[in-house]
Amino acid sequence: MSDSVDEHRQLAKRYSGMYDEELLKLAAEYDDLTDTAQLVLRDELQRRKLDLPTPPADPADEDHTGGEPISLDLDISPDGNVLIGNFQSPEQAAIAYWALEIAGIPAKIVRPQSGPSPTPRLQVAPEDAERAQQVLSQPASAEAMDQYEAAKETGDFETPDCPVCGTPDPLLESADPVNEWFCESCGHQWKDAQSAVT
C-alpha cells in the first residue's frame, strides 16, 4: 500500500472522530495542510454538510488603514532606518502611524520630495521593522482610528516645512515655551511665533 493511501485512510479516521468545531478550526489552516489532508478534510466537511471557510483576502490587498490598499515593502533610508509602506494619502499614513504608536513602535511619517516612490511612508528603527509589518498587515483598530481623528482635530500632524529649503518634516528639538525646529537637510533652525502657542 502506498504512503498516500495510508495517509488518506489515517486522516479520514482521525477527521471523522473530530467535533465540527475542531474541523472548522483545522479548515482555517487549510493552506498549510498537505494535498491529501486537504482532500480528506473537504470530504469530511461535505459529509457533515459544513462549508469550507473562505480564506481571508491577501493582506497586501486589504485596506488596513482606512484608504486604498498599501504596499508593506521595506526600504533602507539614508540614515539607516527602515521605510515601510507606500501610502496613497497622508491620512492613510497617519492612521498607520497611530497603529504603530499604539503597538509601542516609534515611527515617523516621511514625505519624500522625489524619487521612485513620492508617496508618504513610515520610518521605523531596523529592529522594529518586522513587528511594524505585522501590525500594518492587520486592519486598523478602532483605537488607531480614534487617535487619528483626535490628532486631526488638534492638528498634531501639521509640521512646518523648512522656510529655507522647503524640506518637509523637520526635527522638533523643543516645545517649551514654543516649538523649536531643526532642518536636517540644510541645518536651518527656527522657532514658531509666540502667538501660535495656546
192 found inside a domain: yes
Residue carrying C-alpha cell 539607516: 80
52 found inside a domain: no
Question: Cα(23)–Cα(197) distance, rounded to whole angstroms?
Answer: 61
Residues 85 and 72 sit within 8 Å (Cβ to Cβ): yes
Which CATH number covers residue 123? 3.30.70
38 found inside a domain: yes
| 138 and 72 part of one domain | yes
| 85 and 117 part of one domain | yes
| 145 and 172 part of one domain | no
> What cell does 95 get?
492612521
| 82 and 168 part of one domain | no
| 66 and 147 part of one domain | yes
27 found inside a domain: yes
| 111 and 187 part of one domain | no
CA angle 21, 23, 27 (to 5 degrees): 115
| 43 and 84 part of one domain | no
Residues 188 and 164 sit within 8 Å (Cβ to Cβ): yes
53 found inside a domain: no
| 84 and 34 part of one domain | no
> What cell does 70 get?
498599501
| 133 and 82 part of one domain | yes
Amino acid at 146: D
Residues 140 and 96 sit within 8 Å (Cβ to Cβ): yes
Residues 55 and 30 sit within 8 Å (Cβ to Cβ): yes
54 found inside a domain: no
Tens-digit pLDDT profile for the chain (198 aa)? 567 778 888 988 999 999 988 888 888 888 888 888 888 888 888 888 888 766 554 444 444 444 445 566 677 777 778 888 777 777 788 888 888 888 999 888 877 655 555 677 888 888 988 888 888 888 888 888 888 787 767 655 467 778 888 787 787 777 667 778 888 888 888 887 764 434
| 67 and 89 part of one domain | yes
Give the structural domain span for 197.
159-198
Q: How many domains does the chain have?
A: 3
| 65 and 134 part of one domain | yes
| 63 and 150 part of one domain | yes
Percent of the chain topping pLDDT 70: 77
158 closest CA partner among 111, 115, 194, 124: 111
The pLDDT tens digits for 47-65 are: 888 887 665 544 444 444 4
> What cell does 87 get?
501610502
